[in-house]
Each structure stands twice: as structure tokens, then as C-alpha cells.
Amino acid sequence: MQTEPASLPLLLAARTWLLDELVPHLAPEKRYDALLIASAMAIVARELEAGSAGREQERQLEVEFLRCIYPDLAEEQGRRGEHLRVLSARLARDIRAGRFDHPGPEREALRQWLCDDTVDSLKKCNPRYLELEESI
């Protein structure tokens, strides 16, 4: 019986090989490209580490936020099988239309959710940026 190799260890091994064995031998004009590839591999590795539980938690936080902003549409979502993207699209339209331009609880909820979402994205895409911000 063959078993599937674990994706994360393979990805990390390939990234280590790329950085340690290949990049030092590349011409300077190709090193940047290789480092971009290594960076992309690191992002994917962090996403794999978070796993489906992490993605489900992010989705649940988004649903909770959107239900606070759109209780009417959240109810319809369950009955009519509408997707999360419908609520997200409505939020984008409302932001462009200025619904959250004036101070109030909805604007503060949106600001907090966007900040939290940005930090979550940075944890995956550029965790060193967060470390820099904490040290300032």
C-alpha cells in the first residue's frame, strides 16, 4: 500500500533546498526570482499549518461580523442557501456607498474586523512585519 507523503514537510524541505543549495549558485539577476518563490512557499506552508480548522475559524468570524451588520440578509442566507460571498459583496457596495463613513457602532465594528482580518493575513503572508511593528 502506498501512502501520500505529507505536503507540509515536503514543501519545507523543498524551500530549504532552494534557499540553501540553489540560491547561492544563481546569477544575481535570478536570485530575486528564487527568493520570491521561497517566500510564496513559506506563505503556503503557513496556510497548510493553519489547516482547514484555521480557514473555518476565519470564515466563522467573517460570518459573525456580517450577521451583525446584515441581520436581515443573514436570516435569508440560511433559508435560501445564499453564500458568504453575497454578504461580502453587499459589504463592499456599502463601503463604497459611504454607509460606514460616519462615526458609530457599525463603523467601529467594521474597523475592528478589518484590522483583525489584516493581522490574520499578515500572520500568513508576512509575519516579520508584525514582529517589526511590535518592536517599535
Residue 67 burial (CB count, 10 A): 14
Contacts of 50 (CB under 8 A, 6+ apart): 124
- Residue 125 within any structural domain of the chain: yes
Which residue reads 506552508 in cell numbers? 45
- Residue 70 within any structural domain of the chain: yes
- Residue 34 within any structural domain of the chain: yes
User: For the chain, what is the domain count?
Assistant: 1
pLDDT number for residue 53? 67
Distance, in Å, from the CA atom of 125 to the CA atom of 14, rounded to the nearest integer, reads 18
Secondary structure (DSSP) of 41-67: HHHHHHHHHHHHHHHHHHHHHHHHHHH
- Residue 28 within any structural domain of the chain: yes
- Residue 96 within any structural domain of the chain: yes
- Residue 19 within any structural domain of the chain: yes
Which residues in the chain come in under a pLDDT of 50? 1-2, 76-81
- Looking at this protein, which amino acid is placed at residue 48? L
- Residue 75 within any structural domain of the chain: yes
pLDDT number for residue 11? 92
pLDDT number for residue 57? 73
pLDDT number for residue 136? 57
Distance, in Å, from the CA atom of 118 to the CA atom of 108, rounded to the nearest integer, reads 15
Which residue reads 499578515 in cell numbers? 122
- Domain ranges, residue 27: 7-135
Three-state SS at 19: helix
Whether 110 and 100 have beta carbons less than 8 Å apart is answered as yes
- Residue 2 within any structural domain of the chain: no
